[in-house]
Amino acid sequence: MADADVIIVGAGLAGLVAAAELAEAGKKIIIVDQEPEQSLGGQAFWSFGGLFLVDSPEQRRMRIRDSHDLALEDWMGTAAFDRAEDFWPRKWAEAYVGFAAGEKRSWLIERGLKF
C-alpha cells in the first residue's frame, strides 16, 4: 500500500468532503470503506443525487417556503432524538442544518456544481 499523509475511514459524504479538502491542501490520501466501489458515498448513495439545502435560491424561485428553523424542526420531528444517547446525533443534525442553510451551496458551486 502507498504512503499517505492521511487515511480516511469511510467513503460517505463526510469522508469524501474531508478527502476533497485535504487534496486541495496538497495531501496524499487513502480512503478505506467497507462498501464496494460502485456504492461510493455511504448513505448518500441512496439519495439518488438529492441535496439537502435550506432556503436556496432554487427553493425560493419555486415558492417553497423554507428556513433554518423550519428545516431543523422537520429534522427533529422525524428523528425524535428523545433518548439520552441521542445527544451527539442531535448536535450533528443541528450542525448539518446550519451548514445546509449556510455555506454548503457555495462550497459545491466553488467545486464546479451547477444548479
pLDDT, average across residues 74-96: 93
pLDDT of amino acid 36: 87
Phi, psi of 3 (to 5 degrees): -75, 150
Q: Which residues contact 97 (CB under 8 A, 6 or more apart)?
A: 54, 68, 71, 72, 75
Contacts of residue 15, Cβ cutoff 8 Å, sequence gap at least 6: 8, 9, 31, 33, 42
The model's pTM: 0.73
Render pLDDT for 27-47 as a digit per residue (tens, 0 to 9): 999 999 998 888 888 877 777
Q: Confidence band (pLDDT; 50, 70, 90) for 1?
A: low
pLDDT given at position 77: 93
pLDDT at 42: 81
> According to the model, what pLDDT value does residue 38 have?
82
CA distance 21 to 104: 13
Q: Where are the domains of the chain?
A: 1-50, 51-115
Q: What is the tens place of the pLDDT at every residue in 11-24?
A: 988 899 999 999 99
Question: Cα separations (Å) of 25 from 18, 20, 22?
Answer: 11, 9, 5
Q: Which three cell numbers stand for residue 109?
A: 458551486
Quick check: 29 and 8 in contact, CB under 8 A? Answer: yes
Mean pLDDT computed over every residue of the chain:
92
What is the reported pLDDT for 45? 77
Band of pLDDT at residue 99, cut at 50, 70 and 90: very high
Chain centroid, CA 74 distance in Å: 17
